């Protein structure tokens, strides 16, 4: 009997180790570097970002111009500047201005253009949908149909020729997060936003969207109940054939992680995010906040499973508390875009109220 138990344990251990080793070998790895800093010493969070005519664009966003924070009496200010980077070894240049100071909306790369959707500024939330083109060193801006309602802190993704927008908040002082699910077919003769059935879960803001193999995904986010935040780790998949389906929960919340998720055509990858662990302590930690999650999570649709897929590059110096921009942190509240086959994380927030001008670049390494 004891021999049978020992044999069973040995087989279990070998099988578990083999499975773990196989998963480790299959994990997508990334080589991390830095691009030139965005030309603002403070940096911005909530910027729109993407690619137009093969150049990298970062536009809008907000910061505390004196480098302060709400608890030091500083006031958030939005920008309308558009920055362009033409080469990976080049420097950013100012290429124009948005029609309004804006941030905290959705960015979508479509064909040779960059589409900016919704967002907010000091006057409130907006319905604007703008299409940015870049030719011969100049930005041109055209208008697409406005959103059904003003929205910010939302997420969205392109699948084929259709833009999908999910969640957010309708006003800056919203007590609950939204359950909106909107779609715009960019190839339709008459372009108009359609209101679709919502996912079978709580309203949320600061979620991560994704698109893979004909489906779109909604990961994590923050729910609001009477204005109080709760961090979510549930996840959903949507297709036009099957509608919404709940999928496996994430290992932890990834609120405000760079969105949309990166796809290698097999899995979806979420970089960092706020897991909510330090959220109750943020008011007392202030500039001593340690920063946000560095985990790279991967969702595998074939097995409906999540794996931890390495870490975001960080390099925190001894003076990180008083000189945060001298260090490299994992950013949140920024857009993830893909440029020249590489993942780009431009700017963002690295601890509550602290922005960064750093631009991280991650090259997927072939398995």
Binned at pLDDT 50, 70 and 90, residue 367 comes out as low
Calculate the dihedral angle through the C-alpha atoms of 35, 36, 39, 41, rounding to the nearest 10 degrees.
Answer: 90
**Model-level pTM?**
0.93
CA dist 16 → 7, 19, 126, 304, 342 (Å) = 14, 5, 51, 18, 33
Condensed to tens digits (0 to 9), the pLDDT of residues 188-240 reads 999 999 999 999 999 999 999 999 999 999 999 999 999 999 999 999 999 99
- Rounded Cα–Cα distance for residues 85 and 91 (Å): 6
Condensed to tens digits (0 to 9), the pLDDT of residues 242-288 reads 999 999 999 999 999 999 999 999 999 999 999 999 999 998 999 99
Condensed to tens digits (0 to 9), the pLDDT of residues 18-74 reads 344 445 547 899 999 999 999 999 999 999 999 999 999 999 999 999 989 999 999
First to last CA, the chain: 44
- Whether 359 contacts 38, CB under 8 Å: yes
Average pLDDT, the chain: 94
* pLDDT at position 15: 38
Calculate the dihedral angle through the C-alpha atoms of 271, 307, 240, 115, rounding to the nearest 10 degrees.
Answer: 10
> Residue 174 contacts by C-beta under 8 Å, 6 or more apart in sequence?
224, 227
Condensed to tens digits (0 to 9), the pLDDT of residues 137-149 reads 999 999 999 999 9
Q: Given a cut of 90, is residue 14 above it in pLDDT?
A: no
- Rounded Cα–Cα distance for residues 20 and 42 (Å): 42
* pLDDT at position 110: 98
Domains of the chain: residue spans and CATH: 31-365 (2.120.10.80)
């Amino acid at each position: 009997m004891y021999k049978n138990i020992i044999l069973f344990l040995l087989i279990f251990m070998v099988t578990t180790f083999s499975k773990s080793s196989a998963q480790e070998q299959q994990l997508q790895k990334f080589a991390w570097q830095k691009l030139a800093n965005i030309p603002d010493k403070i940096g911005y969070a909530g910027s729109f970002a993407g690619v137009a005519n093969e150049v990298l664009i970062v536009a809008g966003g907000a910061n505390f111009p004196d480098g302060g924070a709400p608890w030091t009496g500083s006031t958030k200010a939005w920008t309308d500047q558009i920055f362009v980077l033409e080469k990976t070894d080049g420097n950013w240049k100012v290429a124009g201005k948005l029609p309004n100071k804006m941030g905290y909306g959705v960015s979508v790369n479509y064909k040779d253009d960059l589409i900016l959707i919704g967002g907010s500024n000091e006057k409130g939330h907006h319905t604007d949908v703008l299409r940015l083109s870049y030719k011969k060193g100049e930005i041109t801006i055209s208008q697409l149909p406005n959103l059904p309602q003003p929205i910010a802190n939302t997420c969205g993704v392109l699948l084929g020729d259709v833009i999908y927008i999910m969640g957010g908040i309708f006003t800056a002082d919203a007590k609950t997060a939204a359950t909106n699910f909107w779609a715009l077919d960019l190839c339709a003769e008459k372009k108009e936003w359609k209101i679709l059935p919502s996912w079978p879960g709580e309203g949320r803001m600061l979620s991560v969207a994704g698109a893979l193999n004909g489906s779109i995904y909604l990961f994590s986010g923050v729910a609001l109940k009477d204005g109080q935040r709760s961090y979510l780790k549930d996840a959903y998949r949507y297709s036009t054939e099957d509608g919404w389906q709940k999928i496996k929960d994430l290992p932890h919340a990834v609120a405000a992680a760079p969105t949309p998720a990166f796809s290698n055509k097999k899995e979806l990858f979420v970089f960092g995010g706020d897991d909510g662990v330090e959220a109750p302590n943020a008011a007392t930690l202030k500039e001593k906040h340690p920063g946000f999650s560095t985990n790279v999570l991967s969702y595998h649709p074939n097995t409906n499973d999540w794996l931890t897929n390495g870490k975001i590059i960080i390099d925190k110096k001894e003076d990180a508390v008083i000189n945060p921009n001298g260090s490299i942190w994992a950013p949140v509240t920024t857009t993830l875009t893909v440029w020249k086959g590489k993942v780009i994380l431009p700017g963002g927030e690295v601890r509550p109220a602290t922005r960064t001008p750093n631009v991280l670049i991650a090259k997927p390494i072939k398995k």
